[in-house]
Chains A and B, each alone.
Chain A
């Protein structure tokens, strides 16, 4: 679709999105306090990652600011999901995966020996590309995380479930069928349920791996609205192959790409979304966001 759109038109649309993003960005910066709040939540320093012999990412240095949405964009297979999964060490589960360099959460190296991965994943939640609720009831899905951390009290669980579903803008739709299977919900509802499930763990950071790629436009809209609301309280990183989505929802953008087939993905440009979409520094970024490749 993007390929057929005249470049000028795309640019106008992008600058319009950017203006909207810029508005929300200034609102954000006003809220920031000068102390720890202004320091980035996640930083990486010359991060490299390989699957066995294959080097997927090289020399990634980015900073994810607090209470904002950072988008990772780039063509398919450039390693954006791999990068995202470095932030909660989900890559640990992949056999033969090796990470070098530094990933720091609030200044602490999460790849340091002895670092508590379980606690890390409770602090840094994740929403996946395809909605993946457990084959359990709606209630049990949301209560899964709190139960893991030992919450047994019925009333407290009820409260957490209700609050999380409300935050995920799903409560009104499912409050009558909490004991029904999560599998009976629509795709969009399932994805918001997965977001509620993450929120119930009370994370500080939420990673979203192409959360809307399996959803229709209406469901996508609802998830995006939700992200905009959640931004007030959480730091979010979203991987998307959809540049319009990145422009719509994010405050900062990292553009990752592979120069030649077989080479590792690198960050070509990283910065303010508004700035990147209106005035990209790198020529490759400009070509990508105007839809000339990828």
Chain B
């Protein structure tokens, strides 16, 4: 075959494969929005109380549960993963310890989330006696998302040019000062983008939540010890149990709203990254 022909065929094949990916995604988005967008944009549905056996229930406590859970999870996962990422990227010398850490992290990342759910239930809900609660769900979700959050932070830190570090050290800065003043400000866009994607994952997580945080509540949770029903786990519950007469409406509406939230998060992630990039170029990453 002539190289030119081969090139043309390759172009067509890759174009097709790319097109299939985009097509499938578009199809899913259109399906979900087509079924539930109208419900999802209805204030009565969004701000209403859920019903267990009657029609016309809303999802307000579920939205609050989701946001609450996301916040708590980040509060736990961010400091730990950022600390570990800084250690791996800046402090550790490559060796057996870092190898072991990476192996553990990568293994964790490969586990299905239901395993984390069962683990969280055993440890936090039963052994610690926290019951179905936001805090148990948040710890479980934090462990689940630790690997990806840590790896994306580590990558962002590693991608900061070594010349910045050299410059800082040569001016008599300690490692910690260099990390704080030069490395972290430059790595912030990447870390933020990784965090936003993680938020999307937490919002969409159900398997790790149903046995730890809960799946049905009437009232929005206030204390971290309260039982909660994050949207994703409530959708799972409504669909599986089918006790609500209009469960299709609730499930479709909930799914559409969830999709909206996740799309919004990803959109924000991109915007934030771009904003920081511009700010960095315009000077004063720290001010």
Q: Chain A residues in contact with chain B, CB under 8 A?
A: 88, 90, 93, 95, 118-119, 121-122, 125-126, 128, 130, 132-138, 140, 144-145, 148-149, 179-184, 194, 197-198, 201
Contact = CB atoms under 8 A, between A and B. Distances in A.
B283 A179 contact: yes
A119 B281 CA distance: 31
Contacts of B174: 118
A168 B41 CA distance: 62
Interface in B139-169: 161, 163-169
Q: How large is the interface on B (under 10, 10 to 19, 20 to 34, 35 or more residues)?
A: 20 to 34
Given A90-B170, A119-B172, A144 B283 contact: no
Contact of A144 (B166, B181, B185): B181
Contacts of B165: 93
B170 A181 contact: no
B186 interface: yes
B191 to A, nearest CB: 15
Contacts of B164: 132, 134-135
A218 B166 CA distance: 27
B172, B281, B282, B286, most chain A CB atoms within 10 A: B172
B284 A144 contact: no
A140 B284 contact: yes
17 contacts: A90-B170, A93-B165, A118-B174, A121-B171, A126-B170, A128-B166, A128-B167, A128-B170, A130-B163, A132-B167, A134-B182, A135-B283, A136-B283, A145-B172, A181-B283, A182-B283, A197-B171
B281 A183 contact: yes
A93 B169 contact: yes
Contacts of A95: 93-94
A183 B172 contact: no
Closest 4 CB pairs of A and B: A181-B283, A122-B172, A132-B163, A126-B170
B177 interface: yes
Given A140-B287, A148-B173, A132 B281 contact: no
A205 to B, nearest CB: 12
B177 A194 contact: no
A166 B216 CA distance: 69
A126 B172 CA distance: 10
B163 to A, nearest CB: 4
Contact of A122 (B171, B284, B285): B171
B7 to A, nearest CB: 37
Contacts of B186: 135
B201 interface: no
B280 interface: yes
Contact of B172 (A148, A179, A194): A148
